[in-house]
A and B are shown apart, each in its own frame.
Chain A
Amino acid sequence: MQIKYFSWMRERLGKSEETLTLPGSVKTIAAVLDHLATLDATYAEVFENRTMVKTALNQTHAAHEQLVSDHDELAIFPPVTGG
């Protein structure tokens, strides 16, 4: 799966995107966040407050309970501040 990061999350993680092969047990967006948090402490820090972690799947806003698959594009970002 392709994962994109924006705003201060992108800065803190030091990358704007990456490709991840999902372990079979990872079925939801929440599970992806949990999985990333186990890979590195920085992910754990950035994703600590889940209410402030907004996500989009294939360029549509998506709740953390949504199911994911390997060919999806997941975007992870703080609450938007446009307009």
Chain B
Amino acid sequence: MISISVQADDFDLGAEVRALKQNHQDVGAIVSFTGTVRDLKGDLETLELEHYPGMTEAELKRIGEEAASRWPIKAGKVIHRYGALGPGDNIVLVITMSAHRAAAFKAAEFLMDYLKTQAPFWKKEITREGTAWVGASEKDDTAADRWHR
């Protein structure tokens, strides 16, 4: 069961892992991915994340159910933030737990690849030079395609 949270607040990886571990003696592998706000050119002031309330939760839940149906995941969580974020801030957290590592790694990668092409969020970069909406990447579509059955 992969739980989902769409929230403005920051998250703490350690606290989330501790909470998930509590009822799972059967877990031998814990994998996590954290996406953060990248500032390649050193001029980013704010990254604004817009989302579609209602659909974001529904879509992440659907992606989580797909992952849990494909791999033996004992527990997991996906957290995605929205709102105004600064350079280096946390954006997204994916945690997967399973008996063995293969399922945990694959499910985490799958969750991220699908999230990048399906979850209704849009990023807007505000820099010293101006404001621009981030464009979608073909690399993300290719990454998601490789999971099609």
Contact = CB atoms under 8 A, between A and B. Distances in A.
Contact of A80 (B91, B92, B120): B120
Interface string A1-31: 0001011100000000000000000000000
Nearest to A82: B121
Given A7-B133, A8-B133, A80 B55 contact: no
B120 A77 contact: yes
A80 B117 contact: yes
Contacts of B35: 83
Interface of B: 35, 49-52, 54-55, 58-59, 80, 91-92, 112, 115-124, 133-136, 140
Contacts of B124: 7
13 contacts: A56-B120, A80-B116, A80-B119, A80-B122, A80-B136, A81-B135, A82-B92, A82-B121, A82-B122, A83-B91, A83-B92, A83-B112, A83-B140
Residue of A75, A82, A83 with most partner-chain B CB within 10 A: A82
A6 B58 contact: no
Closest 8 CB pairs of A and B: A82-B121, A79-B136, A7-B122, A59-B55, A83-B116, A82-B119, A8-B133, A81-B134
Contacts of B119: 80, 82-83
Contacts of A61: 59, 118
A78 B58 contact: no
Contacts of A78: 122, 133, 136
A56 B55 contact: yes
Contacts of B92: 82-83
A8 B133 CA distance: 7
Contacts of A8: 133
Nearest to B122: A7
Nearest to B121: A82
B144 to A, nearest CB: 11
A7 B49 CA distance: 9
Which of A6, A59, A79, A81 has the most CB atoms of chain B within a 10 A radius of its CB?
A: A81
A7 B50 contact: yes
B10 to A, nearest CB: 17
